[in-house]
Amino acid sequence: MVIKAVDAEPALSQLGKELRLIRSKIKDNAPEKTVSEIKNAYSQLNKIPGANKASKSLSKARKAIDGGKHDYNKAKTYIDATLAIIEREAAWRKRLKSGPYEDLVSFEKFTQNNLGLREQERLTSEQVDIITPCLAKHRNISLQF
Domain that holds residue 59: 1-145
Largest CA distance in the chain: 80
pLDDT in tens, 7-56: 899 999 999 999 999 999 887 888 888 889 999 999 999 999 989 999 99
Residue 59, classified by CB atoms within 10 Å of its CB into exposed (0-12), middle (13-18) or buried (19+), is middle
116, 15 contact by CB (below 8 A): no
Q: Which residue from 34, 14, 16, 12 is spatially nearest to 25, judged by alpha carbons? A: 34
pLDDT digits (tens, 9 = 90+) for 74-118: 999 999 999 999 999 999 999 988 888 888 888 888 877 666 666
pTM > 0.75: no
Q: Evaluate whether 61 touches 73 at the Cβ level (below 8 Å).
A: no
Number of domains the chain contains: 1
Amino acid (1-letter code) at residue 68:
G
